[in-house]
Amino acid sequence: MMDNLSERSKKILEAIIEDYIGTAEPVGSRAISRRHGFSLSPATIRNVMADLEELGFLASPHTSAGRIPTDKAFRFYVDSLLAVRAIDREQEELIQKQYRLYGKDVGEILKETSRILSSLSHYMGVVATPRFTTTIFRHIEFIKLGGRRILAILVSKSGIVQNKIVESGEDLGSEDLVRMSNYLNDLLKGLSIAELRSRILREMEDEKVRYDEMLANALKLSEQTLGENGTDVFIEGQVNILDQPEFADVAKMKEIFRTFEEKGQLVSLLDRCMESEGVHIFIGSENYMSQMANMSVITAPYMSGNRTVGVLGVIGPTRMGYDRVIPIVDYTARLLSKMFDVD
C-alpha cells in the first residue's frame, strides 16, 4: 500500500469500518470516541478522518456529517487489519451433517453447498459447477433408443455425468454398442476429458481403424459425444440481499437480480478465480460489474485431486463481516474438495 498510515490512523479507520459493517450508517467522530474508548478528542478524530478522506479511504455522504469507508478502505482492511477467526466447531458439524444427507449425487451436493453458504453467511451462496473438461474420464456407455438414435452417457471420475443423444451412420445393435463402450473405456482410461478428443482423433487416423468398422463407428460416436459443456451456477439466498439497507433502491435491486438470473457475467467473474489458490476477495469496483459496485465476492476453488474443477463463494455488501465469512468459504471449499478427491 503506497499510503503509509500511522498506527493512530489505522486504529481509527478500523473502528470506522467495523462500526459501518455493524450499522450500515455513516460514522461520526463522536460515535468513534464514545464506542471505542480512544483517549482522543472528537476534534482530533475529525482531523484524522479528514486526512483519511483526502487519501481516499473515506467518503462523505451528502446527507450526513459522518463518513463511510470506500472500496480502498475495505481492501486495506482485508489485506492489513483483519484478524480472520477460525470457523467454530458448531458450524463445521452443521456443514458436515448437511453433506451427509445428500450421499454421492453431485448435482444435489453442489445445490446444497450454495444453500449452506447462504445459511451460514446470511448473504448469497454461489457455486460454479465443474467444467466437464477439467475432470478425469471414468467410462462411457451407449444405449440404443430407436433407429439410429443413441443415448451416450459420459461419466467423469468425480461423478459428473453428461448425457447426449447422438446419431450413428448405421443401425447398430445393443451388442455392438456394448463392444464399442468396452473398447473406448479401455482406450481412454485415465485421460482428462480435455485430452479425449485429441486421443480420439489420433486413433481415427490409425491405419487399422480404417479397416475395422466397429472401431471407426465407436470413435465417431465418442467424438459426437464430446460437445461443449458450459459452467452453470447455483445461487441461493438472493432474498438476503433485500434485507441489507444499502439495497433498498428497488430499481438497483432489479438490475442486480437480472445479473444473477442471466449468470453469464457471474460465471466470468468466478472463472477468474479458477487459477487462484485459496480465498480470493473482490471488493466493490474490483468486480468489474457496474451492477455489483456496492457488493463484495469472497470465493475459493474446490479441487479434484490436484486439479481445480470449480469455484464457490459468498456475495454480499461491501460491508459484509469478512472475518466471519472468509473461514466459512475456506472450510466449505476444502470439505467439498475432499468429496471430489477420488482420482
Does residue 27 lie within any of the structural domains?
Answer: yes
Amino acid letter, residue 57 = F
More confident of the two residues 220 and 233: 233
Closest CA to 275 of 138, 154, 131: 131
Does residue 1 lie within any of the structural domains?
Answer: no
Same domain, yes or no: 241 and 304: yes
**What is the structure's pLDDT at 211?**
61
CATH number at residue 40: 1.10.10.10
Does residue 52 lie within any of the structural domains?
Answer: yes
The residue among 225, 260, 290 that closes a domain is 225
pLDDT in tens, 275-285: 777 899 999 88
Same domain, yes or no: 107 and 57: no
**What is the structure's pLDDT at 1?**
44
3-state DSSP of 256-279: HHHHHHHCHHHHHHHHCCCCCCCC
Domain that holds residue 13: 7-81
297, 282 contact by CB (below 8 A): yes
| pTM, to two decimals | 0.77
Same domain, yes or no: 250 and 336: yes
**What is the structure's pLDDT at 27?**
92
Same domain, yes or no: 118 and 141: no
Question: What are the E-state strand segments in 174-306?
Answer: 233-236, 280-283, 295-304
pLDDT in tens, 125-142: 999 887 666 677 888 899
Does residue 2 lie within any of the structural domains?
Answer: no
Cα gap 304→271, rounded to integer Å: 16
